[in-house]
Amino acid sequence: MDLFSSETIKNILPFDGVTNYHGIVLDKKQCNFYYQTLLETIKWKNDEAIIFGKKLMTKRKVAWYGESEFSYTYSGVTKTANIFTKELLELKKIVEKESKETYNSCLLNLYHSGEEGMAYHSDEEKMLKKNSAIASLSLGAERKFSFKHKKNKQRIDIVLERGSLLVMKEFTQTNWLHRLPPTKKVFTPRINLTFRTIELQQGV
């Protein structure tokens, strides 16, 4: 979408990482179409996590998609990825063009309302290519998103608009945590897609 192009791209981190907010990259019609289609066609599942040896389920739903059926371990649970759908490939193309990077997988999160969020973490799983870009595309409800520096605890907040793109790269994951804080002010669902680069083992 050249309409909303590059002069608005901004690094929102003051140091120790690059996280570019590209603003809105999908128009209203695209937002509505992809939000509805993903809601209906993605194989959403409640997330399982092993926490202190116990298997817990999150209210938030998740799904992993990729170029191949790679297996991945996430929060202590090993799963197999689904193959990209037509719409995910279309969105990947838009995000790759806008961010000038490439991706081979996507983690989708569905938050049913503001009550659901994600705690502070960084995306540094072993299967991810070290310091590769992670592109986060948001659909549905607008939500606040926060970064916290791992050492000096400085916080940076941003509102992720409907149809917006945020690209975390370079040393962002090494030096900063991020989270989606729960809120009592949002009552409608949000879908977030994070396009990532998995280091695929040879022969897989």
Ligand X SMILES: O=C(O)CCC(=O)C(=O)O
Q: Applying CB under 5 A, does 123 fall inside the site for Mn ion?
A: yes
Closest approach of Mn ion to the CB of residue 178, in Å: 6
Q: Which of 107, 133, 139, 141 binds ligand X (CB under 6 A)?
A: 107
Closest-approach residue to ligand X (CB) = 192
Across 17-27, b (16+ Cβ under 10 Å) vs e yields: bebbbbbbbbe
Which of the listed partners (ligand X, Mn ion, none) does 145 bind, with a CB threshold of 5 to 8 Å by partner kind? ligand X
Q: Applying CB under 6 A, does 172 fall inside the site for ligand X?
A: no
Name the burial class of residue 57, with classes exposed (0-12), middle (13-18) and buried (19+) by CB atoms within 10 angstroms of its CB.
exposed
Q: Applying CB under 6 A, does 178 fall inside the site for ligand X?
A: yes
Find out whether 38 and 32 touch, Cβ atoms under 8 Å: no
Q: Which of 90, 123, 142, 161 binds ligand X (CB under 6 A)?
A: 123
Name the burial class of residue 126, with classes exposed (0-12), middle (13-18) and buried (19+) by CB atoms within 10 angstroms of its CB.
exposed
Name the burial class of residue 58, with classes exposed (0-12), middle (13-18) and buried (19+) by CB atoms within 10 angstroms of its CB.
middle
Closest approach of Mn ion to the CB of residue 180, in Å: 9
Q: Which is nearer to Mn ion, 104 or 109 (CB)?
A: 109
Q: Which is nearer to Mn ion, 33 or 44 (CB)?
A: 44
Separation CA 147–CA 83 (nearest Å):
31
Question: In the structure encoding, which two tokens stand for residue 30, read together?
Answer: 């695209």
Q: Which is nearer to ligand X, 7 or 25 (CB)?
A: 25
Q: Which of 110, 167, 180, 198 binds ligand X (CB under 6 A)?
A: 180
Task: Measure CA of the first residue to CA of the last residue in the chain; give whole Å.
Answer: 35
Q: Which is nearer to Mn ion, 87 or 123 (CB)?
A: 123
Q: Applying CB under 6 A, does 192 fall inside the site for ligand X?
A: yes
Contact positions toward Mn ion, by CB under 5 A?
A: 123
